[in-house]
């Protein structure tokens, strides 16, 4: 065990032991994406408590648990190539009343990682699933990107296709998406992805490399500058990547937005009219709401 985690195990028991952890239940556990200290207290407690650990790579997860001072004897290998069969073994153990944890190699299972089929099989068997939240490269990068998320909306695209033609089609589809888009990529394919995204030209992209790790790097640039940015240093093609394509700036007709808002206000409550007008015209919801209040005040006067 890493000596610094001894106190963490004690804190986990103190903070989480009093909660209810039913038997015959699958616990879906998010694990660190790089920094061991990002493990949650409830995750530590549940990993100590469960009867078996199912995981994407038993060697990886065994090393992770040993770093925290947790030793388990019952392990199930459940990865993308055997997930359907592995899920049935998980279900069988749950039906025997065991508690089973599932962890992918990093981050949240089922989000561009194995785990979704396991959860579906457990739910189909009428057995409970409890998520234990934790680190995610998606939200980690979104929280640090220097570009406003309009209405906090974004699209998660995950890993784009590996084949060049299919990847190009996916990028063309992203070009039509006006909201921010989160894309993940592995080091051996990042150069190919950068070349494909360069077709998006001036559209902004925030790149997160080795998030939460010692050599974490976050950079914001234009999509057509991404290949050159990668080539500027050999280190930049190493590690796991998360990228956010920035929202496309909308050219708004303020007069049209007000006209639509007036029509909707004649038939609908203010909040509903504002919401629909924003969706139809792309105008900012708060600006439309202020305009609606101003009209209402003028009418009252």
CB 180 within 8 A of CB 206: no
The 75-77 sheet, strands edge to edge: 75-77, 52-55, 100-103, 26-29, 129-132
CA 286 centroid distance within chain: 27
The pair phi, psi for residue 97, each rounded to 5°, is 95, 10
Which 8-state DSSP code applies to residue 292?
H
Closest CA to 220 of 150, 153, 144, 151: 144
d(CA 183, CA 187): 13
CB 94 within 8 A of CB 26: yes
The DSSP code sequence of 129-183 is: EEEE----HHHHHHTT-SS--GGG--EEEEEPPSSHHHHHHHHHHHHT--S-EEE
Tell me the pairing of strands 241-245 and 100-103.
Answer: unpaired
d(CA 63, CA 53): 13
d(CA 48, CA 257): 57
Please state, as a whole number, how many other Cβ atoms lie within 10 Å of the Cβ of residue 291: 19
Quote the Cα angle for 37-187-139, to 5°.
45
Residue 299 is predicted with a pLDDT of 74
List for the chain the helix, strand, coil content (%; round to 5). Answer: 50, 15, 35
Residue 3 is predicted with a pLDDT of 64
CB 127 within 8 A of CB 94: yes
Residue 221 is predicted with a pLDDT of 96
Look up the pTM and report it: 0.80
Please state, as a whole number, how many other Cβ atoms lie within 10 Å of the Cβ of residue 227: 18
CB 218 within 8 A of CB 143: no
CB 212 within 8 A of CB 186: no
Q: Where are the alpha helices (DSSP H) in 40-132?
A: 41-49, 58-67, 83-95, 116-124
**pLDDT tens per residue across all 301 residues of the chain:** 566 788 899 999 999 999 999 999 999 999 999 999 999 999 999 999 999 999 999 999 999 999 999 999 999 999 989 999 999 999 999 999 999 999 999 999 999 999 999 999 999 999 999 999 999 999 999 999 887 666 678 999 999 999 999 999 999 999 888 889 999 999 999 999 999 999 999 999 999 999 999 999 999 999 999 999 999 999 999 999 999 999 886 555 678 888 999 999 999 999 999 989 888 887 778 889 999 999 988 876 5
Could you identify the residue written with the tokens 């010692």?
Answer: 214
Residue 30 is predicted with a pLDDT of 97
d(CA 205, CA 242): 10
Distinct helix (H) and strand (E) counts, the chain: 12, 10
């Amino acid at each position: 065990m890493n000596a610094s985690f001894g106190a963490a195990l004690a804190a986990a028991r103190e903070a989480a032991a009093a909660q209810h952890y039913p038997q015959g239940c699958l616990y879906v556990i998010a694990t660190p994406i790089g920094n061991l200290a990002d493990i949650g207290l409830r995750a530590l407690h549940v990993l100590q408590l469960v009867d078996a650990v199912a995981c994407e790579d038993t060697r990886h997860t065994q090393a992770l648990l040993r770093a925290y001072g947790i030793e388990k004897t019952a392990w199930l290998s459940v990865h993308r190539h055997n997930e359907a069969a592995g899920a049935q073994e998980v279900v069988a153990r749950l039906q025997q009343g065991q508690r089973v944890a599932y962890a992918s190699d990093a981050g949240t299972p089922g989000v561009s990682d194995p785990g979704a089929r396991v959860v579906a099989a457990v739910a189909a068997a009428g057995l409970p699933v409890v998520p234990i939240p934790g680190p995610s490269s998606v939200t980690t990068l979104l929280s640090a990107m220097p570009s406003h998320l309009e209405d906090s909306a974004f699209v998660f695209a995950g890993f784009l296709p590996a084949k060049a033609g299919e990847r190009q089609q996916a990028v063309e589809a992203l070009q039509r998406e006006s909201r921010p888009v989160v894309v993940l990529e592995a080091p051996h394919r990042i150069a190919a992805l950068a070349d494909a995204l360069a077709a998006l030209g001036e559209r902004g992209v925030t790149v997160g490399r080795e998030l939460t790790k010692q050599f974490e790097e976050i950079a914001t640039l234009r999509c057509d500058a991404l290949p050159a940015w990668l080539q500027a240093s050999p280190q930049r093609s190493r590690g796991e990547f998360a990228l956010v394509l920035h929202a496309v700036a909308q050219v708004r007709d303020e007069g049209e937005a007000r006209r639509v808002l007036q029509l909707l206000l004649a038939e609908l409550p203010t909040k509903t009219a504002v919401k629909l007008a924003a969706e139809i015209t792309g105008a900012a919801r708060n600006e439309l709401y202020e305009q609606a209040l101003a009209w209402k005040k003028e009418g009252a006067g």
